[in-house]
């Protein structure tokens, strides 16, 4: 399985047109509703749609992650990362080590 990761650099989310379209509809969807739990927030975000067909999928990750985990340079070298032409430091695809 290939996984593609794309990030905007810090402070540039204003350039993300999907994000701009999305957040106005999320705001309208939860207007006047109390945000009493993470589940309420996730359900309201996940229930957002637009007339043009934009749908949102939202999941709550309740797992706990050990802070401060470090990846060694050697472990990084074993990853099958393929940087994209545009900002390969922020945008890349990686393949499973078991992929053919």
Residue 26: predicted pLDDT = 73
Sheet holding 2-6, edge to edge: 2-6, 91-95, 80-83
DSSP 22-52: HHHHHHHHHTT----SHHHHHHHHHT-B-TT
CB count, 10 Å around CB of 92? Answer: 17
Residue by residue, pLDDT tens for the chain (100 residues) are 788 887 766 665 566 666 666 777 777 777 777 778 888 888 888 888 878 887 778 888 889 988 898 889 998 888 888 999 988 888 899 887 765 5
Which residues constitute the domain of residue 20? 2-95
Q: Does the reported pTM lie above 0.85?
A: no
Residue 83: predicted pLDDT = 92
Does 84 map to a domain?
yes
Does 100 map to a domain?
no
Q: How many domains are contained in the chain?
A: 1
Residue 51: predicted pLDDT = 81
């Amino acid at each position: 399985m290939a996984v593609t990761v794309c990030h905007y650099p810090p402070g540039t989310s204003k350039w993300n047109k999907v994000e701009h379209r999305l957040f106005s509809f999320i705001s309208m969807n939860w207007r006047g509703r109390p945000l009493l739990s993470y589940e309420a927030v996730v359900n309201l975000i996940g229930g957002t749609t637009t007339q043009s067909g934009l749908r949102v999928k939202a999941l709550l990750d309740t797992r706990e992650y050990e802070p401060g985990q470090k990846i060694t340079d050697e472990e990084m070298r074993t990853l099958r990362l393929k940087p994209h032409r545009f900002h390969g430091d922020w945008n890349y695809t990686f393949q499973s080590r078991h992929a053919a």
